[in-house]
Amino acid sequence: MTGGKYPEMAGKRILLGVTGGIGAYKAAELVRAFVKEGAHVDVAMTRAASRFITPMTLETLSRNPVAMDMFTPASAGTISHIELAQAADIFLVAPATANYLGKAAAGIADDLLTTISLVVRCPIVLAPAMNSKMWSHPAVGVNTDILRSRGVSFVLPEEGELACGQEGPGRLAGLDRIMESVARNLSRGDLQGLGIIVTAGPTREPLDPVRFITNRSTGKMGYAIAEAAARRGARVHLVSGPVELEAPRGAAITRVGTAREMLGEVQKTIDGADWLIMAAAVADFAPAHYSCTKIPKEGKKVLAVEFSPNPDILLEVLPEKGEKLFVGFAAQTGDPVPEGKKKMARKGLDLMVANDVSREGIGFGSDDNEATLLDPSGREEKMPTMPKTLMADRILDRALELWREKRASAGKKDPEE
């Protein structure tokens, strides 16, 4: 199995252009990261770039010949530069110098990379890097606007100390941001136009100002779904319980503590949503009485705590379901399918992800998961152990299929169809 953080990169042809700036050395890291994701990487570099990083380095890491010269014919068994440009699924230039932006905006083709730039018809992502004075020059701004108006995506430079010793915007964007943009541009955009609420993580039910009851959910599955859905074009609202994860890119996030707060947030936003994906492990009970002061241990042989049931979020919003698609999770100990089916029926779900959380290496806290997808038609799809990032896309694929069926039977069309 490949690295698997960006499933949309596996098997894709990424054409990486490298131009002559100090950030060119980071192309090596990018190539490695793409190869780790299972992508085929072709590199085309300018002569100036080869002064910052050798073609040999990029050739070794990409395991493919590096193209630099217009007039070197393709060797036996390799494809020509024009074919290379036509075959690309995505064209990324990182770093893109001010000179490159100017030529690309003007349509100048005076070397291999600028020629390729006019041939590609796949999505284009540019990651500029240059001195901050150059970056803020109006000519560069105009060139960037021209390229943007032609549909080119930009991963804007970051602030910081530049190689020339000055401070300011101009440093090549971080690897993560570039990878994210490439993944977003590669993805099918098949969730475009959909509003999706994803809940994730545990809830935290306070007993007194310093103590609370919670569960072992870490939020990884829900966060992976939110990130994948945003990458595929959905408007994502992540309602997150307390977790230690970074906010997923591209999703709006609201952090909540208790089950009641989570319910409040879902109720507030459900109206504008098409899908609700309840990946959160909502606490079923909360302490019946909250003590405003810390409960002392003095004089207690036993501490008896009474609990009262929390509202069931899915059941609470069920009356507002209408034509929305509801996805739930059943985290069970033991065979999750029979209980999963019952919960699916009880909570009016269109799709249930049932998993056994008692198994080592899958479920709470781990990076991998194994689950069975259930739907009301009786279909059962067993998903083998796989990274949660990959499973997120599988769940969304199935949800989309069900959504389309639902829309078709209601005689409606999706915006992107």
Least separation in angstroms between CB 238 and ligand CTP: 14
Does residue number 261 form part of the binding site for ligand CTP (CB under 6 A)?
Answer: no
Q: Which of 46, 50, 310, 389 forms a contact with ligand CTP (CB under 6 A)?
A: 310
Q: Which of 123, 328, 363, 387 forms a contact with ligand CTP (CB under 6 A)?
A: 328
Q: Would residue 122 show up in a list of annotated catalytic residues for this protein?
A: no
Q: Which of 155, 331, 392, 402 forms a contact with ligand CTP (CB under 6 A)?
A: 331
Count the residues of the shown chain that bind ligand CTP, applying the rule CB under 6 A: 15
Nearer to ligand CTP, 123 or 328 (CB): 328
Q: Which of 49, 280, 357, 391 forms a contact with ligand CTP (CB under 6 A)?
A: 280
Does residue number 330 form part of the binding site for ligand CTP (CB under 6 A)?
Answer: yes
Amino acid at 411: G
Nearer to ligand CTP, 45 or 266 (CB): 266
Nearer to ligand CTP, 25 or 307 (CB): 307
Does residue number 282 form part of the binding site for ligand CTP (CB under 6 A)?
Answer: yes
Does residue number 341 form part of the binding site for ligand CTP (CB under 6 A)?
Answer: no
Does residue number 343 form part of the binding site for ligand CTP (CB under 6 A)?
Answer: yes
Tell me, letter by letter, the H, E, C secondary structure of the chain.
CCCCCCHHHCCCEEEEEECCCHHHHHHHHHHHHHHHCCCEEEEEECCCHHHCCCHHHHHHHHCCCEECCCCCCCCCCCCCHHHHHHHCCEEEEEEECHHHHHHHHHCCCCCHHHHHHHHCCCCEEEEECCCHHHHCCHHHHHHHHHHHHCCCEECCCEEEECCCCCEEEEECCCHHHHHHHHHHHHCCCCCCCCEEEEEECECCEEEECCEEECCCCCCHHHHHHHHHHHHCCCEEEEEECCCCCCCCCCEEEEECCCHHHHHHHHHHHHHHCCEEEECCECCCEEECCCCCCCCCCCCCCCCCCCEEECCCHHHHHHHHCCCCEEEEEEEECCCCHHHHHHHHHHCCCCEEEEEECCCCCCCCCCCEEEEEEECCCCCEEEEEEEEHHHHHHHHHHHHHHHHHHHHHHCCCCCCCC
Are 371 and 353 spatial neighbours (Cβ–Cβ below 8 Å)?
yes
Q: Which stretch binds ligand CTP (CB under 6 A): 43-51, 64-72, 108-116, 309-317?
A: 309-317
CA distance 334 to 339: 10
Q: How many CB atoms lie within 10 A of CB 271?
A: 10
Q: Which stretch binds ligand CTP (CB under 6 A): 21-29, 148-156, 210-218, 278-286?
A: 278-286
Q: Which of 9, 278, 357, 395 forms a contact with ligand CTP (CB under 6 A)?
A: 278
Nearer to ligand CTP, 66 or 331 (CB): 331
Q: Which of 284, 367, 397, 414 forms a contact with ligand CTP (CB under 6 A)?
A: 284
CA distance 103 to 143: 9
Nearer to ligand CTP, 314 or 391 (CB): 314
Least separation in angstroms between CB 247 and ligand CTP: 20
* Active-site residue (options: 164, 252, 288, 408): 164
Q: Which of 91, 212, 329, 364 forms a contact with ligand CTP (CB under 6 A)?
A: 329
Does residue number 123 form part of the binding site for ligand CTP (CB under 6 A)?
Answer: no
CA distance 64 to 85: 14
Nearer to ligand CTP, 33 or 313 (CB): 313
Nearer to ligand CTP, 259 or 390 (CB): 259
Does residue number 313 form part of the binding site for ligand CTP (CB under 6 A)?
Answer: yes
Does residue number 90 form part of the binding site for ligand CTP (CB under 6 A)?
Answer: no
What are the catalytic residues? 164
Residues at the interface with ligand CTP (CB under 6 A): 259, 278, 280, 282, 284, 310, 312-314, 328-331, 343, 347
